[in-house]
Each structure stands twice: as C-alpha cells, then as structure tokens.
Amino acid sequence: MKKLILLALLIVGCDNSTEPEPEDCAGVTGGTAVEDNCGSCIGGTTNLTACTQDCAGVWGGYSVSDIDENCYATIQIGEQLWMAENLKTTKYKDGSYISSGHSDEEWDDLETGAYAVYDDDPSNAYIYGNLYNRFAVDDNRDVCPEDWHIPSDDEWAILTDYLGGESVAGAKMKSTGTIEDGEGLWKYYSDEITEGISNESGFTGLPAGCRSSNDGYFNIDRQGYFWSSSMLSSTDVWYHTLKYNISSIERKFQWSNKGGSSVRCLGD
C-alpha cells in the first residue's frame, strides 16, 4: 500500500504541465492588446491607440467643437470632410473675441473682423449660425477650429464636381423641407424644385440669409451665402450661394468685404 502511495506521489510530482496562456485580441499569446470602446484591437503589438469620444459623446465620432465649445456634426463627401452646420463661434482660434453688436451704420464703416446674428435674434444664431464679414474670415487668428479652414474656391469646386456639377449640386446640398409644409426652413417655390431637394450629400445647407453692407439683413428663408478663402482683389472674393428657387449652387464674386455671410469649415 505504501509503495502505491509513493508511486502516485512520484507521478504527480513529475507532471509539469500548465494551462496555456490566452491570446490577446491581436492573436499574441500572453499579449496585452485589448478591444477599445469602438471595437478595435489596440495596445500590445498593434501600435494603435484607443479611440476617443467626440464632442457629441460618440466613441470614434467625427463631430468637432470650436473654442466656444459649440459642437458641430461633420460629413465626409468624397475625400473631403465638411462641417454639416454653419459656424457659430464668437471668438478666433486664439481665444480673442470677434467684434459684434454693430448697428447697420457701424457695420458699414467696419474695417476689421466682425460677426452678426440675423435680426439680432439669438434663436437665429442657434439655428443658422453667425454671419461673418470678410475681415473676420481673412484674419490670421482664424475663425475655424484647429485642423479646419475656410475652403478655397478650388475646394468648393471639388465638392460640386463630386456631386455632379454646379447645375445639380445645390439640390444635393440643401436641407430638405419647406416653411409652408412645416417640415423645413426653405421657402416653397415649386413642386419640381422642392421635391427634387434631397440633401443626399449630407451637407445640409441652410437659408441663413446675409447682412448687407448697407441694407441690413435679408433672404433668411430664401438663400444661403458661403464664403471661400479665394480673393480676386482687395474687395472682390469668390463665394457660393444656394437659393430656394433653383437646384444649382451658384459661384459668384464681387461680394463686399463688409457683407455678412455664413462659414462652413473644411477639414485640413
């Protein structure tokens, strides 16, 4: 009996087998890579870092915030990443304030950057964003957030070409719905025009109107005006406009430095 017990002990003592180490998500035995909140394998031998939450709280999302902590949806259109909302910031990227609160007479006399809110109604800023004069857009302190910029005329052309050309791009860029049907912000024009608006690009262009250099505010439900960074002269600049009664986007110039228009920033 003692011999059997001794034999059993010897057998147990000679068993050096161990449980195999588990593999991490990268398939490395005993590795340290783990899945992050986006379901990606990070760390360990992957050389990848964990995704983060964007300003809308979405893990791995692409919403972007400005220095005022306004959070903007973004949209990938072709190879470009656009803001899908009009800019609302009251400060330049360095934290300095952009001038505002000017009367029509003061606005017309400005030679420095400024913004306005349509009809001086804060609810319009919330929906449509601010209207910036050309001096603000050209200021080297920048109105767009870090890693974003005012699109050039060539970059607007890349967008409209991707959407099939200027003659049809507007319908693919405008937000859907009309004031009359209670489902949108655009003035109704005709079935042919309004039913053709698809916003299939996700750009979600709004009829934010503008502030004239001498005539106050106008066209809030009929037209959206968007700055480019491309100048023709000290006073002439390319800009682009969406209108309620056409399906195209129009490329124009000779817009005064003192006019107030919307800004859509483009990712660097």
**Span 198-213, pLDDT tens digits:** 999 999 999 999 998 7
Summarize the confidence of residues 46-63 as an average pLDDT: 92
* Domain residue ranges of the chain, discontinuous segments joined by +: 64-267
What does pLDDT average to over the chain? 91
Q: For residue 18, what pLDDT band results from cuts at 50, 70 and 90?
A: low
Reduce the secondary structure of the chain to three states and give it as a string.
CHHHHHHHHHHHHCCCCCCCCCECCCCCECCCCEECCCCCEECCCCCCCCCCECCCCCECCCCEECCCCCEECEEEECCEEEECCCCCCCECCCCCECECCCCHHHHHHCCCCEEECHHHCHHHHHHHCCEECHHHHHCCCCCCCCCEECCCHHHHHHHHHHCCCHHHHHHHHECCCECCCCCCCECCCCHHHHCCCCCCCCCCECCCEEECCCCCEECCCCEEEEEEEEECCCCCEEEEEEECCCCCEEEECCCCCCCEEECCCEEC
Report, as an integer, the average pLDDT of 120-126. 95
